[in-house]
A and B are shown apart, each in its own frame.
Chain A
Amino acid sequence: SAVISQKPSRDICQRGTSLTIQCQVDSQVTMMFWYRQQPGQSLTLIATANQGSEATYESGFVIDKFPISRPNLTFSTLTVSNMSPEDSSIYLCSVGGPGNEKLFFGSGTQLSVL
C-alpha cells in the first residue's frame, strides 16, 4: 500500500486568501487525484493530476480556482485560491495502488474559511 503524507492537516484562513495543500507519496505513482468533501457531503473529485501534463478538471472545477502542480511522480500540490466560506471543506489527495485498482488516501486537510 502507498503511504501518503498530506499537509497541512487543518487550517483556518481569511476570505480572499489562498492556501496550498501538499501531498507526498512514498512511491512513484502515475496518477494522483484531488477530492473535496463539503460538510455533511460525500467526496467529489476535483481533478486528476498527471506528471508532465496539465491536470484534468471535473465539471464545476476550474484551474484558476484550484491550480494543481505535479512536478514529479511522488508529489503534488493543490491551491485553493481567493477563498470564500463556501470553500470550507476537507480536501483529500489519493493515489492508485499497484495495478491502479485500489485507491489510497491521505489524511485530508480540514479547511475553514472565515
Chain B
Amino acid sequence: KQEVTQIPAALSVPEGENLVLNCSFTDSAIYNLQWFRQDPGKGLTSLLLIQSSQREQTSGRLNASLDKSSGRSTLYIAASQPGDSATYLCAVSPGTASKLTFGTGTRLQVTL
C-alpha cells in the first residue's frame, strides 16, 4: 500500500526567504506526482505535475523535483510571500485518471 509522508508538518518563515518542502513515498511505481495548494474554504489548486519520466517542473517561483527511485520529491518556493501561506499537499498516482494517494501536508505560514 502506497504511503506518502511530508516533512515538515508545519513551517513558519519570514517573507523573502527561500524554502523547501519535502515529500516521500514508499512505492516507486508511480505514474506521476502532483503538488497542490489548499486554502481554507477554497478546495485544492494543482500547482505542478511531474511525470514519472521527468526530473523537475517549474512554474514561476515554484520548482518541483522528483527522484522516483528514492521515492522523494521536493517543492522549492523562491522569495516567499505572505500570499504563499497555505497547506501544501503532494500526491502520487499509479496511473492515468487514477486515484491519488495524498501526503499529510505541510502548513506554511509566511510572515511579514
Q: Which residues of A contact B (CB under 8 A)?
A: 4, 6, 9, 30-31, 33, 41-45, 48, 58, 92, 94, 96, 99-108, 110
Contacts and interface: CB of A to CB of B under 8 A. Distances in A.
Where chain A touches its partner, the secondary structure class is: strand
Interface of B: 4, 32, 34, 36, 41-46, 49, 51, 89, 91, 93, 96-97, 99-100, 102-105
Contacts of A33: 99
Contacts of B102: 42-44
Nearest to B44: A105
B105 A42 contact: yes
B41 A101 contact: no
Contacts of A108: 41-43
B97 A42 contact: no
Nearest to A44: B102
Most chain A CB neighbours (cut-off 10 Å) among B32, B36, B99, B100: B99
Nearest to A6: B43
Contacts of A58: 99
A10 B42 CA distance: 12
A103 B46 contact: yes
Contact of B100 (A6, A9, A103, A106): A103
Question: Closest 7 interchain pairs by CB?
Answer: A100-B97, A105-B44, A107-B43, A96-B97, A42-B102, A43-B102, A105-B43
A51 B83 CA distance: 38
A4 B51 CA distance: 24
A37 B50 CA distance: 24
